[in-house]
């Protein structure tokens, strides 16, 4: 007999969500798809920084889930049964299933994916929302080209690692900032950045200045105050800054960083706020570039996977603490039953 399970919120998180805020609960196996919808088997869950804020009612105005509610979140899943004309059993989709093994979901919002030069789970990372975020920031906002010196932090992550590789493939010099030796090795050896600086090491500011001399023309910001206040003064005149994420502030006390207005004027800098939702209907444009790059080896990605739905709370806490390497996912079931 097939058994279903889900991860539910045990208590409202106080500060950064922790594994102990969640519990695994049995739940009924959905007997059939909803009218016009899909019955799916979850293959992999996406662990994303925004979910930490969403659980605390701090993401794009969405209310926090109540204790006892299934954790929200996106997954790649196989269709078992379909009541929707455009979807068939055996096809794969990326959709919001929440943290569960089996889900009965509406077809609206489900996006079909196929295995290709990368595994299905890559549609949660380099070929999914984080990859699209990187593409949008690099090519649509900052419009990076061969003359650019591109600096990105959280450079080992799904967004930062992809952003630097896109910049590099467009001819720019790509410099990463990341925390710890394992991340540095991934960024330089696997992703092929020109350099990566460990911002936890003594004297990192001087090393960064030397690596991006005569100064970055583009800064893609994922972390917050620690990096931004160091990189912004190095920015060249007419430099561009893409504000994508503020990971160090999501669960910290105190206020997010403030950029001084005077130096923005002095540098004639352009500051772009990035919200990936604005680019969701352009995913095919990113895929048209990314799929050949993946096939030729010009684009690399790294997954940090834990196994089994039961591992999701601990994997989520690791991801929120920044202890993962690359794109954090939970493998709930094999691609093939």
In the complex, minimum distance from the CB of residue 256 to ligand NAP, in angstroms, rounded to a whole number:
12
In the complex, minimum distance from the CB of residue 84 to ligand NAP, in angstroms, rounded to a whole number:
28
Taking the alpha carbons at both ends of the chain, their separation in whole angstroms is 14
Nearer to ligand NAP, 8 or 186 (CB): 186
Give me 316's structure tokens.
């989520």
Nearer to ligand NAP, 48 or 78 (CB): 48
Contact 301, 18 (CB under 8 A): no
- In Å, how far from its chain's centre is CA 313? 17
In the complex, minimum distance from the CB of residue 279 to ligand NAP, in angstroms, rounded to a whole number:
9
Residue 330 CA to residue 96 CA, distance in Å, equals 14
Q: Is 31 exposed, middle or buried (0-12, 13-18, 19+ CB in 10 A)?
A: exposed
* Residue 61, phi-psi category: left (phi > 0), alpha (psi -120 to 50), beta (remainder): left
Nearer to ligand NAP, 127 or 154 (CB): 154
Contact footprint for ligand NAP (CB under 6 A): 48-50, 130, 133, 154, 156-160, 178-179, 183, 222-223, 244-245, 247-248, 274-276, 321-322
Residue 14 CA to residue 16 CA, distance in Å, equals 7
Nearer to ligand NAP, 204 or 293 (CB): 204
In the complex, minimum distance from the CB of residue 35 to ligand NAP, in angstroms, rounded to a whole number:
33
Contact 194, 175 (CB under 8 A): yes
Nearer to ligand NAP, 61 or 214 (CB): 61
In the complex, minimum distance from the CB of residue 102 to ligand NAP, in angstroms, rounded to a whole number:
26
Give me 180's structure tokens.
């710890």
CB atoms inside a 10 Å sphere around CB 146: 9
Cα separation values, 279 from 86, 102, 103, 126, 135, Å:
23, 29, 27, 15, 9
Residue 138 CA to residue 167 CA, distance in Å, equals 7
3 state DSSP class of 312: helix
Nearer to ligand NAP, 239 or 245 (CB): 245
Nearer to ligand NAP, 78 or 303 (CB): 303
Give me 317's structure tokens.
């806490």
In the complex, minimum distance from the CB of residue 85 to ligand NAP, in angstroms, rounded to a whole number:
32
Residue 134 CA to residue 155 CA, distance in Å, equals 11
In the complex, minimum distance from the CB of residue 158 to ligand NAP, in angstroms, rounded to a whole number:
4
């Amino acid at each position: 007999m097939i058994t279903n399970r889900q991860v539910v919120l045990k208590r409202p998180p106080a500060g950064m969500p922790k594994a102990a805020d969640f519990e695994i609960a049995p739940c009924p196996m959905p007997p059939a798809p909803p009218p016009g919808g899909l019955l799916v088997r979850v293959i992999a869950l996406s662990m994303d920084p925004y979910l930490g804020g969403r659980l605390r009612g701090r993401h794009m105005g969405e209310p926090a889930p109540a204790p006892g509610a299934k954790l929200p979140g996106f997954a790649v899943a196989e269709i078992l049964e379909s009541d929707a004309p455009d979807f068939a059993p055996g096809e794969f989709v990326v959709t919001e299933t929440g943290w569960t093994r089996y889900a009965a979901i509406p077809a609206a919002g489900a996006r079909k994916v196929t295995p290709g030069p990368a595994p299905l789970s890559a549609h949660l990372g380099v070929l999914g929302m984080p990859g699209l975020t990187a593409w949008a920031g690099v090519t649509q906002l900052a419009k990076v080209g061969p003359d650019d010196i591109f600096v990105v932090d959280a450079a080992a992550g799904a967004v930062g690692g992809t952003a630097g590789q896109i910049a590099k493939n467009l001819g720019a010099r790509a410099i990463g900032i990341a925390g710890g030796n394992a991340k540095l090795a991934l960024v330089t050896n696997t992703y092929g950045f020109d350099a990566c600086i460990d911002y936890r090491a003594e004297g990192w500011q001087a090393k960064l200045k030397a690596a991006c001399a005569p100064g970055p023309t583009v800064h893609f910001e994922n972390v917050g105050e620690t990096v931004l206040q160091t990189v912004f003064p190095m920015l060249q005149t007419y430099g561009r800054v893409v504000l994508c994420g503020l990971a160090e502030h999501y669960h910290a006390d105190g206020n997010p960083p403030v950029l001084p207005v005077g130096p923005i004027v002095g540098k004639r800098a352009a500051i772009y706020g990035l919200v990936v939702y604005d680019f969701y209907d352009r995913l095919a444009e990113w895929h048209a570039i990314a799929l050949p790059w993946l096939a030729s080896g010009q684009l690399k990605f790294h997954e940090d996977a834990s196994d089994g739905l039961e591992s999701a709370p601990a994997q989520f806490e690791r991801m929120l603490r920044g202890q993962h390497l690359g794109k954090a996912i939970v493998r709930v079931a094999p691609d093939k039953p």
